[in-house]
Each structure stands twice: as structure tokens, then as C-alpha cells.
Amino acid sequence: VQTLETWVLCVQNDAFREAAPEKQYHRGALKKLCYGTNDLPAREQRDHAINVLTREDALGLLRQRASFRRFEDAVRDWTQVSRVGE
């Protein structure tokens, strides 16, 4: 969850694109920066993340982060392995 929130922050806030916010802030601070509060219901957190991560520029911004590139590579590898058995 913290990684996803970090990705949301990197898309929605220029200040987090170069830095590694997950290493500079504790989880509560990241959550507040991401959602504006620590008490946002899970459904609203999900909706906010979807709105941010479906922005036209989101994928390009996320691909600048090593953690997202590793995730994307792992998903690609997993989908290729799962197709072998088809």
C-alpha cells in the first residue's frame, strides 16, 4: 500500500518525482500528503488513487521510478509465464 501511495504522490505532486518520499517520511505523513488526511475511508482512497493514476501523464511519470519499472517488469514476466501453460 505504501508503494502505491508513493506512486500516487509522484504523479500528483512534482516535489515527489525526484525524491524517494518513502525513505524521507513515515507512513502517516505520506498518507496525509497523498489523501489530505489519515482518516479517509478505503473506498475514497481507492477512488483518489484511480483518478490520479489514470491521468494521461501518469504512466510516463511512473516509469521514471525504479520501483515502478521493477513492478512493470515483474508483471510482464508473470504474464509471459502464465501464457506458456495455455
| DSSP string of 10-78, one letter each residue | HHH-GGGSSS-HHHHS-HHHHHHHHHSSS---HHHHHHHHHHHHTSTTHHHHHTTSHHHHHHHHHHHHH
pLDDT one-digit tens code per residue, 22-81: 777 888 888 898 899 989 999 999 999 999 999 999 999 999 988 899 999 999 888 877
- pLDDT for the residue 83: 65
- Contact in structure between 28 and 2 (CB atoms under 8 Å): no
**What pLDDT was estimated at residue 23?**
78
Q: Read off the C-alpha cell for 71.
A: 513492478
**Residue 15, pLDDT above cutoff 80:** no
What pTM was computed for the model? 0.76
pLDDT score for 1 = 81
Specify the pLDDT at position 78. Answer: 86
Give the whole-angstrom CA distance, residue 29 versus residue 1. Answer: 14
pLDDT-based confidence at residue 84 (cuts at 50, 70, 90): low
